[in-house]
Amino acid sequence: MHSIRSLLWIGDGKALAGCGVDRAPTLEVTWVKDVDEAYTLPASAFDVLVLEGRQAGPLKMALRRLQQRPRCPPVIVCLCDPVDDDIRTLAQSGQCEVLCSDANTKPHAAPTLLEELLSRIDRLIERDRAQAEAKPPLKSADRAGPHSKPSGQPVGSSRAMRGVLDLADRAAGTAATVLLQGETGTGKELIARRIHHRSPRARHPFVAVNCAAFSETLLESELFGHRKGAFTGADRDKAGLFETAHRGSLFLDEVGETSPALQAKLLRVLQERELLPVGGTRPQSIDVRVIAATNRPLQGGVDSKHFRTDLFYRLAVFPIPIPPLRERLDDVLPLARHFIEKLGPGEGKAECRLSHASERLLLTHAWPGNVRELENEIQRALALADPREVISPRLLSPRLLGIIEAVEEAGAGGETLRESLDRVEAWLIRRALDMNDGRKARTARRLGITREGLYKKMKRLGIL
């Protein structure tokens, strides 16, 4: 299983069909017509790229575009005409390898071309691995680089994440209350910090509090402060978090967990811009921008009468939904590399990197714990890795390796294709059921099928 190479073939496909690469048992081939289509796929998911063409000019332009992408795999230029001098120069400089193909005009050359291509692929992958292992340690200044993300900033380049960041930047320029909505672990606090640091309040405090971590009485004291003698143990005046965040931003995480009584007091603060400390008799004015967050739709709490309607509309002036990681898989690998860069030096593993096989496994996982789960996965892998080791699948958690085991078992013992597909499908359904606590309706929604369809599949596959 692990000896199979992943190949992205870019071009009109004539040489691909002619040389039999698409039928090679040791290659997993993906074909796209041009570089624009290749850009829609994560380049790091492939071991090697093959760029097919007849004219040197367009090939050189396409090659430059491909190699502008971060962590571009090795490229083989497959020419159907004699090698152009400029292409030969690029090959000599190590920017690519050149393979001449005349399989369309000389069919007998096809086996030789396939053998040569397989040999080049193995050689390039070995060279890539050797260069990574021989790479000298980075200095801290070099590791940061001109394009690195500042500490604590959101990482992600997917269309969904770009939309979130665009909304956050627009919200930063307003005084509106922001409501961040997303599952646990999606990075809501990072988005809140981005809004604060890009707002006119950036020079003043950013204060965060998890509303679910306190009892109702204690949370009221934390938020609004208290006066001496307000309750047993209140031996002095205490400023609340609203006062601490004066002229800055207050981040109320898990605001949906607050009690109705506290919701009424929050509403007054938002409406009147003043608060009354516990045990106090005189309101005090505050100037705070509130950013709230919830891991479940507040509208559901409004409908069930657990959350005040008027407070909901006060908080949701500028709502920003944050999609889960499974809906923005393009962010998985950039995030994983970011966590290696962030956590590696502390573990003495700053030179570690992910293998292509590990990267592909990360892309197959559904990440129910979102970004936080991915960070924990990378931290675990770094703890197990040796310094400067390439992180292979053996260092990843068993829950990520399940798909490999399902695929490797499929086809064993003379199984038919249908039986092999059933085995993999059964594994996917069992994993989805586990992720959704056995709830079949929710599992069916996540899988994109009806509940009746899920029941039929479970009965056919023998899943109890």
- What is the DSSP secondary-structure string of 214-264? S-HHHHHHHHH-B-TTSSTT--S-B--HHHHTTTSEEEEETGGGS-HHHHH
Please give the structure tokens belonging to residue 9: 């073939």
Contact 298, 256 (CB under 8 A): yes
If you average pLDDT over residues 201-215, what whole number do you get?
A: 90
Nearest CA-CA partner of 242 in 267, 218, 225: 225
Contact 444, 450 (CB under 8 A): yes
From first CA to last CA, the distance across the chain in angstroms is 29
Highest-scoring range by mean pLDDT, 97-106, 179-188, 236-245: 179-188
43-67: pLDDT as tens digits: 666 777 887 876 667 777 777 777 7
Contact 168, 194 (CB under 8 A): yes
Helix (H) or strand (E) holding 189: helix 188-197
Bigger pLDDT: 311 or 461?
Answer: 311
pLDDT of residue 148: 35
- Per DSSP, what are the bridge partners of residue 252? 209, 292
396-417: pLDDT as tens digits: 887 777 666 556 555 556 667 7
Highest-scoring range by mean pLDDT, 75-84, 115-124, 171-180, 398-407: 171-180
- CA–CA–CA angle 252, 284, 263 (5° rounding): 35
pLDDT of residue 207: 92
Residue 278 DSSP one-character state: B
Contacts of 17 (CB under 8 A, 6+ apart): none
Domains of the chain: 5-132 (3.40.50.2300), 159-323 (3.40.50.300), 327-400 (1.10.8.60), 410-464 (1.10.10)
Bigger pLDDT: 181 or 3?
Answer: 181
If you average pLDDT over residues 314-321, what whole number do you get?
A: 93
Q: Is 117 helix (H, G, I), strand (E, B) or coil?
A: helix
Q: What radius of gyration, in Å, describes the C-alpha atoms of the chain?
A: 28
Contact 263, 305 (CB under 8 A): no
The single residue listed with the structure tokens 């069916």 is 444
pLDDT of residue 51: 79
Contact 444, 453 (CB under 8 A): yes
Contact 306, 349 (CB under 8 A): no
The answer on pLDDT for 141 being more than 50 is no
Contact 111, 21 (CB under 8 A): no
Highest-scoring range by mean pLDDT, 2-11, 116-125, 298-307: 298-307
Nearest CA-CA partner of 247 in 195, 286, 276: 286
Nearest CA-CA partner of 28 in 51, 14, 47: 47
Long-range contacts of 411-417 (CB under 8 A, 24+ apart): none
If you average pLDDT over residues 83-95, what whole number do you get?
A: 57
Highest-scoring range by mean pLDDT, 36-45, 106-115, 268-277: 268-277
The answer on pLDDT for 128 being more than 80 is no
Q: Rounded mean pLDDT of the chain?
A: 78
Bigger pLDDT: 279 or 166?
Answer: 166
pLDDT of residue 109: 45
Please give the structure tokens belonging to residue 43: 């380049």
pLDDT of residue 61: 77
pLDDT of residue 1: 37
326-379: pLDDT as tens digits: 888 889 999 999 999 999 998 889 889 998 878 878 887 878 889 999 999 999
Bigger pLDDT: 418 or 17?
Answer: 418
Contact 18, 104 (CB under 8 A): yes
pLDDT of residue 408: 57
pLDDT of residue 179: 95
If you average pLDDT over residues 36-43, what whole number do you get?
A: 71
pLDDT of residue 309: 92
Q: In what order do the strands lie in the sheet with 178-181?
A: 206-210, 249-253, 289-294, 178-181, 318-321
Phi, psi of 192 (to 5 degrees): -60, -40
pTM of the model: 0.59
Please give the structure tokens belonging to residue 287: 């100037």
Nearest CA-CA partner of 74 in 5, 136, 25, 23: 5
pLDDT of residue 106: 44
pLDDT-derived band at 91, boundaries 50, 70, 90: low
pLDDT of residue 380: 92
Question: Among the listed ranges 106-115, 267-276, 426-435, 446-455, which one has the minimum average pLDDT value?
Answer: 106-115
Look at the alpha carbons of 429, 433, 435, 436 in this order and tell me if their dihedral is positive or negative.
Answer: positive
- Per DSSP, what are the bridge partners of residue 353? 390
- CA–CA–CA angle 7, 123, 388 (5° rounding): 90
- CA–CA–CA angle 340, 360, 186 (5° rounding): 55
Contact 384, 397 (CB under 8 A): no
pLDDT of residue 279: 77
Bigger pLDDT: 357 or 254?
Answer: 254
The answer on pLDDT for 124 being more than 90 is no
pLDDT of residue 327: 86
